[in-house]
Amino acid sequence: MALNTTNPTGTEAWKNLQKHFDAVHGTTIQDLFKQDNSRAEKFNIQWNDFLVDYSKNNISQETVSLLLELANSIGLKNAIADYFGGELINQTENRAVLHTALRAPESAVINVDGENVIPEVYEVKNKIKNFTEEVISGQRKGYTGKAFTDIVNIGIGGSDLGPVMAVEALQFYKNHLNTHFVSNVDGDHVNEIIKKLNPETTLFLIVSKTFTTQETLSNSETIREWFLKSASQEDVAKHFVAVSTNIQKVTEFGINPDNIFPMWDWVGGRFSLWSAVGLSIALAIGFDNYNQLLTGANEMDEHFKSAEFDKNIPVILALLSIWYNNFYGAESEALIPYTQYLSKLAPYLQQATMESNGKSVGRDGKPVNYQTGTIIWGEPGTNSQHAFFQLIHQGTKIIPTDFIGFVKPLYGNKDHHNKLMSNFFAQTEALMNGKTAEQVQAEFDKQGLAADKASYLLPFKVFTGNKPTNTILVQKLTPKSLGSLIALYEHKIFVQGVIWNIFSFDQWGVELGKQLANSILDEINSNTVKNHDSSTSFLLNHFLKNK
CB 277 within 8 A of CB 293: no
Q: How many residues bind ligand F6P (CB under 6 A)?
A: 14
What is the chain's alpha carbon radius of gyration, rounded to the nearest angstrom? 26
Which of 355, 467, 480, 492 is an active site residue? 355
Q: Is 60 in the site for ligand F6P (CB under 6 A)?
A: no
Residue 269 touches ligand F6P, criterion: CB under 6 A:
yes
Provide the pairing of β-strand 202-207 with 240-244.
parallel
Task: Provide the pairing of β-strand 469-476 with 50-53.
Answer: antiparallel
Nearest-approach distance from CB 156 to ligand F6P, in angstroms: 5
156 lines the binding site for ligand F6P (CB under 6 A): yes
- Taking CB under 6 A as the binding criterion, the range among 203-211, 228-236, 468-476, 486-494 that sits at the site for ligand F6P is 203-211
Answer yes or no: 542 catalytic: no
372 contacts 502 by C-beta, under 8 angstroms: yes
Q: How far is the CB of 205 from ligand F6P (least distance, A)?
A: 12
Active-site residue, from 19, 366, 408, 514: 514
Q: What is the distance between the alpha carbons of residues 133 and 128, in angstroms, rounded to a whole number? A: 8
Among 100, 213, 259, 433, binds ligand F6P (CB under 6 A): 213
Q: Is 270 in the site for ligand F6P (CB under 6 A)?
A: yes
How far is it, in rounded angstroms, from Cα 202 to Cα 141?
10
Packing angle of the helix pair 161-169, 479-499 (nearest 10 deg): 140
- Rounded least distance, CB 29 to ligand F6P, Å: 37
Looking at this protein, which amino acid is placed at residue 347? Answer: P
Site string for ligand F6P, 493-532 (x = CB under 6 A): --------------x--x----------------------
Q: How many residues does the chain have?
A: 547
Q: Within a 13 Å sphere around the CA of 348, how many CA atoms are in the beta-carbon half?
A: 25
CB of 244 to ligand F6P, least distance (A): 8
Q: Is 461 a catalytic residue?
A: no
In single-letter form, the type of residue at position 424 comes to F
Q: Looking at this protein, which amino acid is placed at residue 503?
A: F
**355 has catalytic annotation:** yes
Q: Which of 386, 446, 545, 547 is catalytic?
A: 386
| CA dihedral sign of residues 131, 133, 136, 139 | negative
Residues 325-384 that bind ligand F6P (CB under 6 A): 355
CB of residue 202 to ligand F6P, shortest distance in Å:
21
Contact flag: residue 481 with ligand F6P (CB under 6 A): no
Smallest separation (angstroms) from ligand F6P to the CB of 296: 22
Identify the CA nearest to 66 among candidates 130, 116, 141, 12: 12
| Active-site residue set | 355, 386, 514
Give residues in contact with ligand F6P (CB under 6 A).
156-159, 208-210, 213, 216, 269-270, 355, 507, 510
